[in-house]
Structure 1
Amino acid sequence: MTIPLNQAAEFYRALGEHPAADAVILDFDETLWLRNSTEEFLASVRPRWLAAMVLQVLGFIKPWRLLRSGEHYRDWMRVVAVLIVAPWSLWRWRREAARLGPRYLNRSLLEAVRRQHRKSVGVITFGFREIVRPLMDAIDRDLPLTESCSLRHGARLRIRGKAAGLREDIGAERLRRALVVTDSAVDRDLLEASDKGFLVQWPDAHYKQAGLRPLMPFVYLQKVKRPDENYLRNAILGHDLPVLLLSYAVISSKPLVAAGAVLLYVLSFFTAYETGYYENDRLGLLLESKPKVSPNYHSLGRYFSPRFAWSAAIVLAGLSSLLAFESHSWIPDAIGDQGVIGFLAVWAVFVLFLVVMRLLFRWQNVIHPQGRIVPMLGLQVGRVLGYAAILPTTVIGALFCVAHGVSRWIPYLVYRFGGSRKEVPNHVNCFMLLVLFAGAAAIGGDWRDLLTWQSGLIFAYTGARAAKEMLGFGSRLLPLKVRPPESVSEPGRTATSAPADNVDA
């Protein structure tokens, strides 16, 4: 059965002819009330960043998928999770509902119903009674909330459907004679259970998802800048983090503590670095004739807050420095203070490193696209070698960072000059650069500095990743096969018309 949309005129005509004794059933969200009650409640939670953090984490892991009727539990889990961390929110909502209820009321609908059917009207919703009832009290205390979900019963009504709930409430025959109006085809069971079901999308109704402001760290990167790459897993945790652990953490006297510090530093770094990606998109739309910006920028970009990103990055840097200043950083020994001053010095130097990288990113974002290869080299090398500003490393560790950064820069160089970076063998390049750098260091210095167990780990790691990549790239290192004479031709001639003395033997 296909249910036609926007039957407003038909609905009002049927309402005028509807017997006063028969029920009128109004959907609540985006019908009687022109907003979604669950989303408006979640948007009202304060502090806003706390709700945003919970909702975005839930949106990432989607725990409702573990349940049999998963999507039915989505809103219930979101509301309950927010109430766990902000239990005062329902109390605060009562005040907000008194203001929002009349503000988003569908007045034309309610007034039309009141004229003839004040005593036979009922309201039904998949929203939660604890959220919807305060809104209805602010609209009209005499309106009965016939069926709704509740926080206690979770998704029970959503699983059963509105028609099943109303049959128990008013009976199947009374439901069949009732006049029903809703905005959503999800209520197909309800529309089909009534002889007078109307699907109307009201022009002033608006659905706005809550919990997107401010975007949490890495959401912009994952959803907007690199929506198809899983950049956090593949590039940051899969490429940069192993390089940093092998270059800095493994040489610590407390390697596990150092590894934890490195991980937090990485999260801090990219939380601040993300502001450069946001600026790249924003300025690209302003400065470039053919900007490459994800469509998600227009829906999510306005929720990104550079101020929040930097605040979060500085806090993460502080947590990282708590782990690093006593166990691994060279700065406290250099200034002769292992106490609070040493900790603050480590923290301050890392924040200064973030600022320098941000300025370098700014430079890249405002210059000609081909000129960007210069700051990009600094960004790619700096995102791994820059940690040496606070953490000790070795010659092989530093060379590994440079090789990694340059290998990641080469595809960008190729791309900016018209080539395709997708087929550039990054790991093979990294391994070759590392061998070259280590060889040059051995010639120009003490080769024994390179014969360490750390060098063995680094060469084993880079060699393994290069070997894996060679499975696809290795065939390109084999000699070309001699082409048969008939396949060779001069420009402008077909193979069959090429003279014999022009054939490449």
Structure 2
Amino acid sequence: MINILIDETSVLEVLNIIETAPDSTLILVDLDETLFLRNSTQEYLNTLQPRVLGWLLLTLLNFLKPWNWLPGKIKGEVSRDWMRVLVATLLFPWTIILWQWRTKQLAQAYGNTTLIRALTKNANSRVILTTQGFGFIVRSLCKHLPITFNDVIACRFWQGAIDRQRGKHFLVTALLGENEIARAIAITDSNDDNQLLASVATPCLVIWPEAKYVSAMADVYIPFLYLERAKRPGERYFVKKILLDDFVVLILGLSLVNSQPILHAISMLFLILSFWCIYELGYVENDIVAERFEKKPTLSKTYQKYKNRISVWQAWLWSVIFAVLGLIVLELTKVISSDKSFPSEVGALDLVTILTNMALWIGLLLVVRVTFYAYNHVDKQTRIWLYFILQAYKYFSFLVVTKTNIIGAILFIAQVISRWIPYFVYRLTNSEWLKDLPHQLVGLVIFGFIIIAVALGTQNSSILMNWQTLAILIWSAYRAKSQFLKIVHEIHPISSEKIIV
């Protein structure tokens, strides 16, 4: 019967077993979460550079699950880590070099000094490292652990799927033989090693308190990931609210009146990504402030998991990259024409204008960041007025580097007011019915009211008979149709209501 040792006493017992073992005793010791208090495979994958591309690769592999395409016994989760290591190493071959540089730091930080000290005290024992990790990863790490191994048994690179399917017991038996194993001590944290534990004289299944399984790229900063996974989990906020709402508003209000609407829309896409890299920092700060100062903060279940994955400097770096791309494309809209070649058009770009716009845009983002900071650190009643300004930034900020017409300005005003009204009422009443407030319909009504008022006030009906106005009305009506139909469906004579005396 296998002894399952999981508490502090069991750790002490394992240490005593090691230190009192007879000379020449064979000790089979696991690596991941045992001798090394992290997972070597995950740490190797965490070394991928550039990290964003590494994260994208691992995310794609997790989505496609190519290990399920493998034949026979190696199909499925048993080959997952092997497939990820194989593909990542082939596509990012420099990772092997980066791993060599990183292993010393990892060994010093996460080596299990308690276990290593016990193993080195018994100098006459034979210590063999046995792991389901991969040889080229493990051996580089072991060189920096303060212990000498008699051998290292690990999975091969090309045949890793086969080795992992066969299991650790098969690999150890193939090298040492059953008789040798029958007299050994085996130390591991994994129930997957039950067959090996059942074969040795002294099995030790022990969970080390300091050990922690950390997935690869668990701390990498990805723009908008916090927004999607922590602030608005399950809402597809980036697609529904940023791309299909705010971005479309910018196209209708700005790009449609530009001489190069497609190029202009592309530039606005880059700039809205730049804007939201910084705006997202305000959301993170909002949750952190709520956690710190509110008695009952409204935080998502995933908040704790993602709050430490935000990097302020990386957010600004991404924002600058998106802004540069957006402003270059925006400048292209001014110089591009059908009678010139593309290289000559690029050569005609005004670098001074691009740099000036860049300075204006960065300055604007700094103002947005300061405003959001103020919003997060004042009382909730005062937030009502700053919320209006924050909503205005989402549209009017872009006028720092481009321009619109009166129709676009009215559209922006309608969007800002339609979002501010529910928040205003919510802060004053905290009413649950605001969840059902028809925001899109309110925006449509405000836009229609203002544009009609302007047309009447200026005696200029052309803004009503305008293709841009028509496009905005069609889009707004499409978004609001379900809300409008709901209101129509609920219309009924007051006589049908029961009067309670």
TM-score (norm 2): 0.82
- Sort the Cα spacing of 1:158 and 1:263 in 2 relative to 1 into closer, same or farther, 3 A: farther
**Is the 8 Å Cα contact of residues 252 and 258 (structure 1) preserved in structure 2?**
yes
Structure 1 match to 2:343: none
Structure 2 match to 1:33: 36
> Displacement, 1:319?
0.8
Aligned mates of 1:102, 1:389 — CA distance in 2: 51
Per-residue CA distance 1:103-143 (angstroms, 9 max, x = gap): 54334434545666966543222322222102222334533
**Is the 8 Å Cα contact of residues 39 and 213 (structure 2) preserved in structure 1?**
yes
Count matched residues.
Answer: 475
> Displacement, 1:212?
4.7
Structure 1 match to 2:65: 65
Structure 2 match to 1:392: 403
Residue of structure 2 aligned with 1:313, choices 281, 303, 319: 319
Structure 2 match to 1:433: 446
**SS at 2:420's partner residue?**
helix
**SS at 1:281's partner residue?**
helix
Structure 1 match to 2:345: none
Structure 2 match to 1:380: 391
Per-residue CA distance 1:184-229 (angstroms, 9 max, x = gap): 3454555466675432111232344453555221122223322342
> Displacement, 1:463?
0.7
**SS at 2:436's partner residue?**
coil
Structure 1 match to 2:375: 364
* Equivalence map 1:26-425=2 (5 Å): 26-42=29-45, 50-58=49-57, 60-61=59-60, 62-68=62-68, 75-76=81-82, 79=85, 87-101=93-107, 104-110=110-116, 112-113=118-119, 121-139=127-145, 140-148=147-155, 150=157, 152-153=158-159, 155-170=161-176, 178-188=184-194, 190-191=196-197, 196-213=202-219, 215-294=221-300, 296-327=302-333, 339-417=350-428, 418-420=430-432, 421-425=434-438
**Is the 8 Å Cα contact of residues 52 and 212 (structure 1) preserved in structure 2?**
no
Q: Which runs of 5+ in 2 are unaligned?
A: 69-74, 336-347
Residue 455 (str. 1) matches residue 469 (str. 2):
yes
**Is the 8 Å Cα contact of residues 22 and 174 (structure 1) preserved in structure 2?**
no
**Is the 8 Å Cα contact of residues 127 and 149 (structure 2) preserved in structure 1?**
no
Q: Which runs of 5+ in 1 are unaligned?
A: 330-336, 490-501
Q: Which amino acid aligns with 1:439?
A: I
- Sort the Cα spacing of 1:66 and 1:371 in 2 relative to 1 into closer, same or farther, 3 A: farther
Q: Which amino acid aligns with 1:372?
A: R
Aligned mates of 2:492, 2:441 — CA distance in 1: 16
**Is the 8 Å Cα contact of residues 126 and 149 (structure 2) preserved in structure 1?**
no
Between stretches 175-184 and 464-473, larger displacement belongs to 175-184
**Is the 8 Å Cα contact of residues 438 and 450 (structure 1) preserved in structure 2?**
yes
Q: Which amino acid aligns with 1:145?
A: V
Aligned mates of 1:476, 1:20 — CA distance in 2: 87
> Displacement, 1:366?
2.0
Aligned mates of 1:305, 1:290 — CA distance in 2: 26
Aligned mates of 1:224, 1:351 — CA distance in 2: 26
> Displacement, 1:270?
0.1
- Sort the Cα spacing of 1:172 and 1:400 in 2 relative to 1 into closer, same or farther, 3 A: farther
Per-residue CA distance 1:50-85 (angstroms, 9 max, x = gap): 543234434654345354156556555665676567
**Is the 8 Å Cα contact of residues 52 and 214 (structure 1) preserved in structure 2?**
yes
Aligned mates of 1:93, 1:211 — CA distance in 2: 15
**Is the 8 Å Cα contact of residues 5 and 11 (structure 2) preserved in structure 1?**
no
TM-score (norm 1): 0.81
**Is the 8 Å Cα contact of residues 24 and 121 (structure 1) preserved in structure 2?**
yes
> Displacement, 1:409?
2.4
Aligned mates of 1:251, 1:215 — CA distance in 2: 36
Aligned mates of 1:409, 1:59 — CA distance in 2: 40
> Displacement, 1:264?
0.6
